[in-house]
Amino acid sequence: MEHMDTAQMAEEQVSDAPIADAGNEASQQVNSTVVAETPTAEPEDQVEAAIEAVGQEATEMEETATDQVEGVTAETMSIVESEGEVAIIDETVSEAIDEYGNDVVVDETITDIIRADGSETIIDETITTAVDEAGDTLVIDEIVSSSMDDDGNLVVVDETVTELMDRDGNGALIDETVTDVIRPDGSETIVDETVTMAVDEAGDIAIEDDIVAAEIDADGDAVVVEASKAAVIDADGNTVMLEDSAQVYEIMNEETGEATMSTMADLVDDFEFKPLKSGETRDGIIVSISSSEILVDVGAKSEGFILQREMERHGREYVENYEVGDSVVVYVVRPEDRDGNVVLSLARAQQERDWREAERLQESGEVFESQVIGHNRGGVICRVGKVRGFVPASQLVSKPEVEPDTDEENRWAALVGENLWLKVVEMDRKRNRLILSERLASRERRRGRKDELMSELKKGDVRKGRISSLAKFGAFVDLGGADGLIHLSELSWSRVNHPSEVVSPGQVVEVYVLNVDRDRKRIGLSLRRLNPEPWSVVHEKYAVGQIVDGVITKLANFGAFARVDGSLEGLIHISELANHRVTHPREVVKEGEELKLRIVRIDPARKRMGLSLKRVEDEAYAEVDWRAEDIEDDSDETWADADDFND
At 268-279, the pLDDT tens digits run: 444 445 677 777
- pLDDT digits 0-9 by tens, 539-554: 888 888 888 888 898 8
Mean pLDDT of the chain: 75
Reply yes or no on whether the pLDDT at 436 is more than 90.
Answer: yes
**Full set of structural domains in the chain with CATH:** 3-269 (no CATH), 281-351 (2.40.50.140), 365-443 (2.40.50.140), 457-530 (2.40.50.140), 536-645 (2.40.50.140)
Do 168 and 156 form a contact (C-beta atoms < 8 A)? no
Residues 6 or more apart whose CB falls under 8 angstroms from that of 623 comprise: none
- pLDDT digits 0-9 by tens, 355-407: 888 989 999 888 899 999 998 888 999 998 888 899 998 899 888 877 777 77
Integer CA distances (angstroms), 286 to 36, 326, 351, 488, 555, in order: 34, 6, 19, 70, 91
Distance CA 367, CA 550 (A): 55
Integer CA distances (angstroms), 391 to 28, 130, 316, 385, 409, in order: 48, 31, 34, 15, 15
- pLDDT digits 0-9 by tens, 599-643: 889 888 888 889 998 888 876 665 555 555 554 444 443 333 334
- Provide the pLDDT confidence category of residue 83 given band limits of 50, 70 and 90: confident
Say what the pLDDT of residue 476 is.
93
Cβ neighbour number for residue 476 with a 10 Å cutoff: 19
The DSSP secondary-structure symbol of 33 reads: B
Range with the poorest average pLDDT among 241-245, 348-352, 393-397, 615-619? 241-245
Do 305 and 343 form a contact (C-beta atoms < 8 A)? yes
Integer CA distances (angstroms), 426 to 109, 123, 365, 445, 490, in order: 20, 21, 11, 19, 45
Say what the pLDDT of residue 15 is.
42
Highest mean pLDDT pick, 29-33, 519-523, 537-541: 519-523
Residue 540: closest CA among 596, 597, 604: 604
Of 508 and 642, the structure prediction assigns the larger pLDDT to 508
Distance CA 128, CA 64 (A): 11
Rounded average pLDDT over 123-139: 77
Say what the pLDDT of residue 36 is.
36
- pLDDT digits 0-9 by tens, 335-344: 877 777 888 8
Do 170 and 154 form a contact (C-beta atoms < 8 A)? no
E strand or H helix that includes residue 624:
helix 622-630
The DSSP secondary-structure symbol of 225 reads: E
Of 146 and 524, the structure prediction assigns the larger pLDDT to 524
Residue by residue, what is the 3-state secondary structure of 377-417? CCEEEEEECCEEEEEEHHHCCCCCCCCCCCCHHHCCHHHCC
Q: Which residues pair with 174 in a beta bridge?
A: 196
Reply yes or no on whether the pLDDT at 28 is more than 60.
Answer: no
Reply yes or no on whether the pLDDT at 21 is more than 80.
Answer: no
